[in-house]
Amino acid sequence: MDEKLESDVEKSIKCKVENKVAWITIDNQEKGNGLTPDMRNHLIELFESFNGQFEIRSAVISGAGEKFFCTGADLSASRQNNDHSETPSLPVTGQIRRMMLDGSIKLMNSVLDCEIPVIASVNGTAAGIGAHLAFCSDLVITAETARFIEIFARRGLVPDGLGAWILPRLIGIQKTKELMFFADDVSAEDALRLGLCNRNVPTQELEAKSREWAERLAAGPSRSYMFTKWMLNKSLDVDRITLAEYEAWAVEVNASTHDSKEGVLSFQEKRNPEWKGY
C-alpha cells in the first residue's frame, strides 16, 4: 500500500488506544460510513493485530457522526475500481467466491476470532454487512436512534458477511427469514427486544456506556475472556461431547495463567484481584 493510500485509509478507519481500549471509528460519512475494500482490509488487520498481546485488552467499534454506524460496502468505490480494471468484463468462475472469502467473510471472522472482547457501539444506521459487523461483535450497545437493516433483498442480493450464520443463532431462523425477506428497518428498541443488542441508551449516553463496559473489560482477566469467547463461539457449531473436550482443554490452559492463579489467591486472601491480562 503506497503512503497516500495508507494515509487515506487511516483517515477513514481511525484507531486510538486509551486505558488499554482500542477505539475504532469508521469515518466515511459522505458514503454512509460504507466500507471500501481498503477500509475493510485495514479493519481486518487491526482486529488480527490485537491477538497474541495484552497491551490492548478490549476494543470498541463505532461510526463517525450520529447518523451512520456502517451502511455496508461503499459501492461507489467498487465501481471506481471496476472502471480501471484490466480484468474481463464478466467474472471468471470462482472470482466472486474468492472475493467474498477474502472480503466481508474475512472481516466477520476477524471479529469473531479476535482474542479480546469487541463492543459494537452502534450510533446510527447499521445496514447489510454493517449490521453483521455489529452482530458478530461480542457486545452491542445502541443509541436510541440506531436502526438495523438486512438490506440485501431491497437490492435483489443474497445476504453476505456471515449474516445467514450469525442471525439465526441470535434470534432464530423464522425471525431471521422475516428480517431478510422483507428488509424492513429494525429500531433500536426492537433490536433490544429481539436480542440483537445488549443495551439501548439515549444517544448522548452511548459513548459513556461504551467506555464504561470497554474499560471494565480491559481491566479484567483477559485470558479468561479469550477462552470464554472461544468456547461460546465454538458451542454454536459442535456437539456436546466435542464442546466438553474444548472446555476441558480451555480450563487446563487457563489454569497456567497469572490471572487464574491471582483469582484463586485473592479469594483465599479476601482481597480484590489484581488482573494483569496474562
Residue-wise pLDDT tens digits, 244-277: 999 999 999 999 999 999 999 999 999 999 999 9
Separation in Å, CA 24 to CA 7, 44, 134, 161, 169: 16, 12, 13, 19, 26
Tell me: the pLDDT tens digits for 69-106?
999 999 876 545 544 455 556 778 888 889 889 999 99
Residues 119 and 211 in one domain: yes
pLDDT of res. 76: 79
Residues 41 and 63 in one domain: yes
Which grid coordinates are listed for 118?
469487541
Cα separation, 177 vs 169, in Å, equals 12
Residues 210 and 226 in one domain: no
Residues 16 and 111 in one domain: yes
44: left (phi over 0), alpha (psi -120 to 50) or beta: alpha
Residues 75 and 187 in one domain: yes
- CATH number of the domain that residue 74 is part of: 3.90.226.10
- Within-domain flag for 22: yes
| 1 three-state secondary structure | coil
Which grid coordinates are listed for 261?
492463579
Tell me: the pLDDT tens digits for 189-199?
999 999 999 99
The answer on pLDDT for 9 being more than 70 is yes
pLDDT of res. 10: 84
Give the H or E element holding residue 162.
none
Q: How many CA atoms does the CB half-sphere of 210 hold within 13 Å?
A: 30
Pure H helices in the chain: 3-12, 37-49, 75-83, 95-102, 104-112, 129-135, 163-171, 173-182, 188-194, 206-218, 222-235, 240-255, 258-268
Residues 110 and 80 in one domain: yes
Residues 48 and 79 in one domain: yes
Please state the rounded mean pLDDT for residues 214-224: 97
pLDDT of res. 208: 98
